[in-house]
Amino acid sequence: MKTTLINKAMSARESAYAPYSGFKVGAALLCDDGTVYTGFNIENMSYPATMCAERAALYSALTQGKRNFKAIAVIGSSSEPCFPCGVCRQVFAEFCDKDFIFYICSEDGSCVEKTFEEIMPFTFSYTTK
Ligand code: THU
- In angstroms, the CA 81 to CA 40 distance is 16
| pLDDT at residue 67, rounded to an integer | 98
Whether 129 has a pLDDT exceeding 90, the answer reads no
Nearest atom within ligand 1 for CA of residue 85: 6
Q: For 84-121, write each residue's pLDDT tens digit.
A: 999 999 999 999 999 999 999 999 999 999 999 999 99
What is the best residue among 13, 17, 23 to mutate for testing ligand 1's pocket, by most ligand atoms within 8 Å of CB?
A: 23
Q: Report the percentage of the chain scoring pLDDT > 70.
A: 100
Q: Are 3 and 29 in contact (CB under 8 A)?
A: no
Q: Which residues contact 123 (CB under 8 A, 6 or more apart)?
A: 93
Nearest atom within ligand 1 for CA of residue 41: 3
C-alpha of residue 126 to centroid of ligand 1, in Å = 28
**Distances in whole angstroms, Cα of residue 92 to Cα of each of 5, 6, 59, 88:** 17, 19, 10, 6
| Average pLDDT value for the chain | 97
Burial 23-62 (b: 16+ CB within 10 A, else e): ebbbbbbbbeeeebbbbbbbbeeeeeebbbbbbbbbeebb
| pLDDT at residue 77, rounded to an integer | 97
| pLDDT at residue 104, rounded to an integer | 98
What is the best residue among 10, 24, 47, 50 to mutate for testing ligand 1's pocket, by most ligand atoms within 8 Å of CB?
A: 50
- In a 3-state reduction of DSSP, which class is residue 6? helix
C-alpha of residue 129 to centroid of ligand 1, in Å = 37
Q: For 3-56, write each residue's pLDDT tens digit.
A: 999 999 999 999 999 999 999 999 999 999 999 999 999 999 999 999 999 999
Whether 122 has a pLDDT exceeding 90, the answer reads yes
Q: Which amino acid is at 13?
A: R
- In angstroms, the CA 52 to CA 26 distance is 9
pTM (two decimals): 0.95
